[in-house]
Amino acid sequence: MISIMKQSNHNNSKINFLSKAGAVIAALAFWQIAAMRIHQKILLVSPWEVFLRLTTIWQVKGFVSSIGFTFGHIVLGFVLGLVSGMLFAFLASRFSLVDTLLWPWVVTIKSVPVASFVIICLIWLSAGNLSVFISFLIVFPVVYQNLLTGLRSTDPKMQEMAKIFRLPWYRKLLFISLPQLEPYLLSACSLSIGMSWKAGVAAEIIGTPDGSIGQMLYYAKIYLDTDDLLAWTVIIVLISICFEKLFVFCLKRLFALLYRI
């Protein structure tokens, strides 16, 4: 029975992979047809031309340093948003006053366009630190609201049992809260990582800090280098996906280790 279930899961994973691969091929085919129909490289280059540019773009001066600059700033903003979102979610779950005081800020952050925040923040911050703050602003409300929902949906019977057996707070956190928060935290991280990269790079394009991916995209637009523009976009997507997969994988492994304790 177990072997049949494993075989079924393997087949489902294979079908899922083939379906996604087929979707990617269809998207590339549509892109190729659109590029051939438009037939103007300034407006749209073909996927093959973008691929060829990807094989040489690493030779551009400042390529590695630009990726390092943007990666470091956006990841720092993400981590700050994740930690602060978790902290304030725990506080808001225990003290309703904290939730009430944070409500207008969270609603404002979720509603105001990223471009408006970028322009406003340029008055207060240097262009080099802009992507850190913008990434933080994007991540914080997502993590905060997801974890707050998870904390409030904790089984009251489990909490009552913890009180009866007088479990210390760290055991309640380890054995009651964290297992129920896992899906909420994984969902928040998976969603906010991609959003932080989009917002962070957008902030760099407007602020154009020296030695950033945003500056490279801005120059590509100025000089009408569509192949460079799309090549950098592909690089951003790949880095964002790889970081998301790696971070979520490490988070799952951490939860698995906690369950063994």
pLDDT per residue over 8-30, tens digit each? 555 667 778 788 888 889 988 99
Say what the pLDDT of residue 135 is: 94
| DSSP 8-state symbol, 58 | G
Residue 204: both structure tokens together = 């760099």
Say what the pLDDT of residue 41 is: 79
Instruction: Give the predicted TM-score (pTM) of the model.
Output: 0.85
| DSSP 8-state symbol, 89 | H
Whether the per-residue pLDDT at 196 is higher than 90: the answer is yes
Angle between helices 178-207 and 127-152 (to 10 degrees): 160
**Which residues are CB-neighbours of 224 under 8 A, at least 6 positions away?**
42
pLDDT-based confidence at 173, cuts 50/70/90?
Answer: low
Helix (H) or strand (E) holding 55: none
Alpha helices in 39-95 (DSSP H): 47-54, 63-94
Average pLDDT of 69-97? 93
Are the C-beta atoms of 152 and 115 separated by less than 8 Å? no
**Which residues are CB-neighbours of 153 under 8 A, at least 6 positions away?**
180
pLDDT per residue over 28-79, tens digit each? 899 889 888 888 878 888 888 989 999 999 888 889 999 999 999 999 999 9
Are the C-beta atoms of 244 and 194 separated by less than 8 Å? yes
Say what the pLDDT of residue 243 is: 94
Residue 245: both structure tokens together = 């997969």
Are the C-beta atoms of 226 and 44 separated by less than 8 Å? yes
Whether the per-residue pLDDT at 3 is higher than 60: the answer is no
Residue 114: both structure tokens together = 């990223």
**Which residues are CB-neighbours of 82 under 8 A, at least 6 positions away?**
139, 143, 189, 192
pLDDT per residue over 110-141, tens digit each? 888 888 888 888 888 788 888 999 999 999 99
Say what the pLDDT of residue 159 is: 65
Say what the pLDDT of residue 178 is: 75
